[in-house]
Amino acid sequence: MIVAKNTQSTLKNKVIYSVYVRNHSEDGNFEGVTKDLKRIAGLGVDILWLLPIHPIGTKNKKGDLGCPYSIRDFTGVNPEYGTEADFINLIETAHGLGLKVMIDVVYNHTSHDSVYKEENPDYFYKTQTGHFGNKIADWSDIIDLDYSNKALWTQQIKALVKWVKLGVDGFRCDVAPLVPMEFWKTAREQVEAVNPQVVWLAETVHSHFAEYARNHGVYLASDAQTFDAFDICYDYDTHSEFMGYLQGDNCLEALLEKKRMQETLYPENYVKARFLENHDNPRAKKMIPNTKQLNNWTAFSFFEKGSTLLYAGQEACDTNTPSLFDKDPVRWNQGHEAYEKLIKRLSQIKKDPMFAIGRYKIHKIPKHDVILATYVDKNEVLYGIFNVGQKVGSVNLHVSDHGYVKMPELKDGDYKNLISGGSVHVKEGHLDLLEEPIIFRV
């Protein structure tokens, strides 16, 4: 197993902000993002992740402009966004504001008219009929690569090294488990020779997709295997239960139990990317229109063990999921300054060392639709209470299910809510539930 130079404890304090260049500004280019970097940094963001920046294929393209995940050339930039010099300026401006820059790596496939297909057709997977195509699913605008060809490995790693030398600090790797983990480990070793601090984020997949792939004889690494090569993995292994809860298909406890299982399924210091929305899913405000419930879910996404992932426009409570295939700018003027202020405060709280070093636990409590979680380190406890169901009553903080970690004594009294600055009162181990999320330290 690769031991990451980026210690997972450090990454558990990070906030990642995802940007689709085409739809981030009216101009839809690198300059439009560069102009917004100061505001983005002001949210408390640590890492800027740009959806694919490369030239898009035109053959079999989707929509008017094509999908950024149908890439023609892994070594170039999309002329729609500007020049390579414009991209370098974006990186340098971001670095000046203390932001790292991560780019999307889409190595499972290319567009139908990619440079690889023209120059190295032997790099590609062939169907039983001998045609270019997909190993699984029906992605009509792309064709899959074949990693049994080691010459492909050399070219793919060469492209990664190019971007790191230009100043890129990390890679978000699209459907990473469909690409052999041995490739990713080899790529990581060679990239680290240039910059040992590069951050590796894997888009892992939903459990049902993993089962579907394996039933069709297609290689797909599990999340546990993916951690052999990556610092951070997506939280898709609990996402179905999250969506199921919002849609009334399962109870909150079903979601929380899946999250508890992560503590034993993955390496001890694992890092998950915790999110409410991303470019492949509906907007959080669309799914959770109730402001108070959205505030609680947002606070929980920051409190969870791992990095927090935001999608540009989330802070404006945009309800429109921008199209990947057409010009569809973020609706910025939503008038949700209070929600943006909440995100800024949660980003500040996320920097607390407790999130990196504390023992994390989501507790089982008899009251439904309330999440109680803690971090414990020596004689300190950080409590998080998230009233996602907006229930009334109280919650018992004298939890008895913390395993072998001894909980320090919780004394009655008033404590400061680190989010709002208000007071929360504990009496006989119970705390009255508030509509707002609560984080406090003992």
pLDDT per residue as tens digits for the range 165-203: 999 999 999 999 999 999 999 999 999 999 999 999 999
Residue 2: predicted pLDDT? 41
pLDDT of residue 7: 55
H helices within 231-373, ranges in order?
A: 239-246, 252-265, 284-287, 291-303, 337-350, 354-357
Instruction: State the residue range of the domain holding 417.
Output: 361-441
Residue where the block lists tokens 């070219």 = 155
Last residue of a domain, one of 322, 356, 390: 356
Asked whether residue 5 carries a pLDDT value surpassing 60, the answer given is no
Three-class SS of residue 33?
Answer: helix
1 inside domain: no
Q: What is the pLDDT of residue 301?
A: 98
Half-sphere exposure (CA, 13 Å, Cβ side) for 126?
A: 9
Confirm whether 2 is domain-assigned. no
Q: Is the predicted pLDDT of residue 30 greater than 90, yes or no?
A: yes
Average pLDDT estimate for 279-304: 97
Q: Please give the C-alpha separations between residue 226 and each of 68, 172, 178, 298, in angstroms, as whole numbers.
A: 24, 13, 10, 26
- Is 232 in a helix, a strand, or coil? strand
Q: Determine the pLDDT at residue 404.
A: 67
Question: Does 4 score more than 60 pLDDT?
Answer: no
- 401 and 284 within one domain: no
- Condensed to tens digits (0 to 9), the pLDDT of residues 33-76 reads 999 999 999 999 999 999 999 999 999 999 999 999 999 999 99
Tell me, yes or no, whether 328 and 365 share the same domain: no
| pLDDT beyond 90 at 156 | yes
Look at residue 3 and tell me whether its pLDDT is greater than 70.
Answer: no
Establish if 66 belongs to a structural domain: yes
Mean pLDDT of the chain: 94
**Residues with Cβ within 8 Å of residue 178, at least 6 apart in sequence:** 108, 135, 136, 213, 218, 219, 220
Single out the residue in 324, 356, 388 at which a domain terminates. Answer: 356
Q: How far apart are CA 33 and CA 23, in angstroms?
A: 10
Query: What confidence score (pLDDT) does residue 409 get?
Result: 85
pLDDT band, very low/low/confident/very high, at 1 (cuts 50, 70, 90): very low
DSSP 3-state of 307: strand
My answer on whether 378 and 248 are in the same domain is no
221 within domain boundaries: yes
Cα-Cα-Cα-Cα dihedral sign, residues 197, 198, 200, 201: positive
Mean pLDDT computed over 90-116: 98
Q: Give the H or E element holding residue 430.
A: strand 430-432
What is the C-alpha separation between 120 and 21, in angstroms, rounded?
A: 29
Is residue 338 domain-shared with residue 415, that is, in the same domain? Answer: no
What's the predicted TM-score (pTM) here?
0.96
Same domain, 17 and 108: yes
Residues 349 and 365 in one domain: no
Pure H helices in 104-206? 115-119, 150-165, 181-192
User: Is 322 within 8 Å of 283 (Cβ atoms)?
Assistant: no
- Mean pLDDT over 365-382 rounds to 91
Tokens of 410: 């919780």
Q: Does residue 3 fall inside a structural domain?
A: no
Whether residues 145 and 220 fall in one domain: yes
**Pair 148, 254 in one domain:** yes
Q: What is the CATH number of the domain that holds 404?
A: 2.60.40.1180
DSSP-assigned states of every residue in 35-68: TTHHHHHHTT--EEEESP-SPBP-TT--TTT--T
Among the listed residues 314, 344, 342, the one whose alpha carbon sits nearest the alpha carbon of residue 330: 314
Query: CATH code at 293?
Result: 3.20.20.80
Over residues 122-131, the pLDDT tens digits come to 999 999 899 9
Decide if 80 is inside a domain: yes
- Tokens coding 116: 């690889």
Nearest by Cα to 283 from 317, 237, 234? 317
Same domain, 301 and 386: no
What pLDDT, in 10s, does the model give residues 229-266? 999 999 999 999 999 999 999 999 999 999 999 999 99
pLDDT of residue 401: 75
Q: Are strands 413-416 and 423-427 parallel, antiparallel or unpaired?
A: antiparallel
Whether residues 200 and 261 share a domain: the answer is yes
Q: What percent of the chain has pLDDT over 70?
A: 98
Q: Does one domain contain both 341 and 384?
A: no
The number of distinct structural domains making up the chain is 2
Q: In what order do the strands lie in the sheet with 394-396?
A: 394-396, 430-432, 423-427, 413-416
Mean pLDDT of 136-145: 90
Task: Tell whether 420 is covered by a domain.
Answer: yes
State which of 319, 338, 356 marks the end of a domain. Answer: 356
- Cβ proximity of 48 and 17 under 8 Å: yes
Task: Specify if 226 maps to a domain.
Answer: yes
Higher pLDDT, 333 or 351: 351
**One domain, residues 319 and 416:** no
